């Protein structure tokens, strides 16, 4: 049975006794198609406790190893199945070398560091301008960004 609630299509799952979002069902199908040992599992809402903040998981059940969870996911993370798939694709060592993955991680880290350094430099430049102004002014007090300064 399929019904539409709001904008997202929902599928009724009688085993769970609740509606399942079709994008979650599609993600599960894509995972199975990509690698048959992967499956999407989760704790039904009726069985969750307050400690179940990441009720979704990607389970890998290879033939030569015991099954294991490769990632736990929150409801918020499951709102973007594309990002979940991207994480799976980027971490697949059968498709990428470990060096490729490391280089992407290093590039992301360097980009983040450059952005933080630029932000810090902008804040330092602004503070220096304020100090230069304070040194030149003949006023006893002044306002800047809603703060009152006294000289």
Cα gap 54→78, rounded to integer Å = 10
Residue 18 lies in a domain: no
Instruction: Return the higher-pLDDT residue of 38 and 137.
Output: 38
pLDDT for the residue numbered 144: 72
Residue 12 lies in a domain: no
Which of 54, 75, 94 is at the close of a domain?
94
pLDDT tens by residue, 113-125: 988 999 999 999 9
Domain shared by 76 and 108, yes or no:
no
User: Mean pLDDT across the stretch 78-96?
Assistant: 85
Residue 21 contacts by C-beta under 8 Å, 6 or more apart in sequence? 8, 9, 10, 11
Domain shared by 85 and 109, yes or no:
no
Decide if pLDDT at 58 tops 60.
Answer: yes
Q: Is the pTM of this model over 0.85?
A: no
Domain shared by 126 and 87, yes or no:
no
Domain shared by 38 and 70, yes or no:
yes
User: Mean pLDDT across the stretch 31-51?
Assistant: 84
Residue 39 lies in a domain: yes
Decide if pLDDT at 14 tops 90.
Answer: no
3-state secondary structure 76-90: HHHCCHHHHHHHHHH
pLDDT tens by residue, 91-115: 887 777 878 878 888 888 988 898 8
Q: Running DSSP on this structure, what letter comes out for residue 47?
A: G
Domain shared by 133 and 76, yes or no:
no
pLDDT for the residue numbered 93: 77
* Overall number of domains in the chain: 2
Q: Which domain range does residue 139 map to?
A: 103-150
| CB atoms inside a 10 Å sphere around CB 27 | 21
Number of Cα atoms under 13 Å in the Cβ half of residue 114: 6
Find, among 42, 81, 36, the residue nearest to 61 by Cα: 36
């Amino acid at each position: 049975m399929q019904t539409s609630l709001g904008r997202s299509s929902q599928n009724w799952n009688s085993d769970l006794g609740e509606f399942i979002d079709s994008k979650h069902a599609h993600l599960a199908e894509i995972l199975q198609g990509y690698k048959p040992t992967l499956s999407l599992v989760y704790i039904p809402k009726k069985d969750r406790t307050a400690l179940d903040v990441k009720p979704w998981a990607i389970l890998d059940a290879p033939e030569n190893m015991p099954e294991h969870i490769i990632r736990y996911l929150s409801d918020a993370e499951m709102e973007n199945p594309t990002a979940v798939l991207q994480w799976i694709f980027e971490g697949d060592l059968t498709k990428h070398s470990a060096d490729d993955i490391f280089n992407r991680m290093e590039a992301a880290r360097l980009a983040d560091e450059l952005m933080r350094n630029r932000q810090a430099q902008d804040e330092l430049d602004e503070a220096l301008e304020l100090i230069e102004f304070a040194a030149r002014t003949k006023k006893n007090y002044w306002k800047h960004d809603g703060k009152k300064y006294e000289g």
